[in-house]
Amino acid sequence: MSLRAFSRLYTTVAAAQRITDGFIGAIGNTPLIRLKKLSEETGSEILAKAEFMNPGGSVKDRAALYVVKDAEERGLIKPGGTVVEGTAGNTGIGLAHVCRAKGYKCVIYMPNTQSQEKIDLLRMLGAEVYPVPAVAFDNPDNYNHQAARHAAGLENAVWTNQFDNIANRRAHIETTGPEIWEQTEGRIDGFTCSTGTGGTLAGTARFLKEKAGKENVKIFIADPPGSVLFGYFKSGGKNLADRTGSSITEGIGQGRITDNLAPDVDLIDEALHIPDEDTILMVYRLLDEEGIYVGASSALNAVAAVEMAKKLGTGRNWLESKNLATAIPDHLQKYVVLP
């Protein structure tokens, strides 16, 4: 390792280990873990952003912090106010932490298909939780619309609207993307992940494409069964209605193009459809081979990174091997799975 590379690594490590200003200061700066077996097997460097190491346990801490800061900056919430959100759980957990740290109340609407562990944790954190029937976005009883109505009926309350509030993607333009760039010293050839709001994919893609040049870094969107995005991209943006199948994954899959994804749809080079069978096998591969016990969306992302490696091909030796990044959005401890 060159002296320059060493001093940069040392600075990065030192930065990650600095004393942080409370819970909020500990969000971000997660390690980029090289998945050894998958890297050896593909001949590419498969690098996974360890988002489960955020203090609230998921990638959504980043968005939670940004949407609350955005509401404060725009004067939408004053001290003692209430944050209301519709969420599959992880954004709620991030928000509940951020709200406690900042002295806000937190109200969460979530589909009743999500794990009991997430509901219990939210209640432990003091959030008011409403599990509601999982109905499509165009139904007025969808959890997001219920959250919006709840906030509208309260004084000093904001619906943070993670799906269409672009402060969410900004979190990844300003933190996740730059961190990956720094951690790979600018040697990044591809990024892939699945989407819920689309914030992680779009924000990271936007930063990396702008920094590296549009053609120098490839962006692949990874979709579970039951989500429309794969069909949408494969049909060149014509078909937004193919909801074939359903998935055991939580927090990902989408029925529309959110405002977080919309500005960066053109940055997506390829779409991957990942069946649940491959995702479940990868949960156990990552446990056996890497010792990482990750949630299903993380396993799906790892499958996608392997697919990406196959599609992009590799160089002749390790110096030429491609650096392909993905995300480990959360840990499996939030989901009870018996081996």
In angstroms, what is the minimal distance from the CB of 90 to ligand PMP?
4
Verify binding: residue 176, ligand PMP, rule CB under 6 A.
no
Task: State the nearest-atom distance from the C-beta of 14 to ligand PMP, in Å.
Answer: 28
| Annotated catalytic residue 105 | no
Q: Give me the least distance between CB of 254 and ligand PMP, in Å please.
A: 8
Please name the residue that has the structure tokens 């709001």.
Answer: 197
Of 81 and 224, the one with the shorter C-beta distance to ligand PMP is 224
Structure tokens at 259: 């405002």
Which of these is catalytic: 36, 37, 60, 238? 60
Mask of contacts with ligand PMP, 177-196, x by CB under 6 A? -----------------xxx
Please state the three-class secondary structure of the chain as a single string: CCHHHHHHHHHHHHHHCCCCCHHHHCCCCCCEEECHHHHHHHCCEEEEECHHHCCCCECHHHHHHHHHHHHHHCCCCCCCCEEEEECCCHHHHHHHHHHHHHCCEEEEEEECCCCHHHHHHHHHCCCEEEEECCCCCCCCCCHHHHHHHHHHCCCCEEECCCCCCCHHHHHHHHHHHHHHHHHCCCCCCEEEEECCCCHHHHHHHHHHHHHHCCCCCEEEEEECCCCCHHHHHHCCCCCCCCCCCCCCCCCCCCCCCCCCCHHHHHHCCEEEECCHHHHHHHHHHHHHHHCCCECHHHHHHHHHHHHHHHHHCCCCCHHHCCEEEEECCEEHHHCCCCC
Question: Alpha-carbon distance 58 to 163, whole Å?
Answer: 17
Answer yes or no: are the C-beta atoms of 110 and 119 closer than 8 Å: yes
- Residue 175 touches ligand PMP, criterion: CB under 6 A: no
Q: Which span sits near ligand PMP by CB under 6 A: 55-63, 148-156, 264-272, 302-310? A: 55-63
Please, what is the minimum distance in Å from the beta carbon of residue 252 to ligand PMP? 5
Q: Which is nearer to ligand PMP, 301 or 323 (CB)?
A: 301
Residue nearest ligand PMP, Cβ-based = 251
Does residue number 60 form part of the binding site for ligand PMP (CB under 6 A)?
A: yes
Q: Closer to ligand PMP at the Cβ: 60 or 322?
A: 60
Cβ-based nearer residue to ligand PMP, 28 or 295: 295
Q: Count CB-CB contacts under 10 A for residue 140.
A: 8
Residues 90, 114, 176, 192: which binds ligand PMP (CB under 6 A)? Answer: 90
* Residue 254 or 321 having the CB closest to ligand PMP: 254
Binding mask 267-296 vs ligand PMP (x if CB under 6 A, - otherwise)? ----------------------------x-
One residue of 64, 82, 329, 331 binding ligand PMP per CB under 6 A: 329
Residues 95-154 that bind ligand PMP (CB under 6 A): none
- Size of the residue set binding ligand PMP (CB under 6 A): 19
State the CB neighbour count (10 A cutoff) for residue 291.
Answer: 7
Q: Draw the binding track, 195-234, toward ligand PMP (x: CB under 6 A; -: no contact).
A: xxxxxx----------------------------------
Stretch that binds ligand PMP, among 6-14, 56-64, 131-139, 317-325 (CB under 6 A): 56-64
First to last CA, the chain: 41
Contact residues for ligand PMP, defined by CB under 6 A:
58-60, 88, 90, 194-200, 250-252, 295, 297, 329-330
- The residues annotated with a catalytic role in the active site are 60
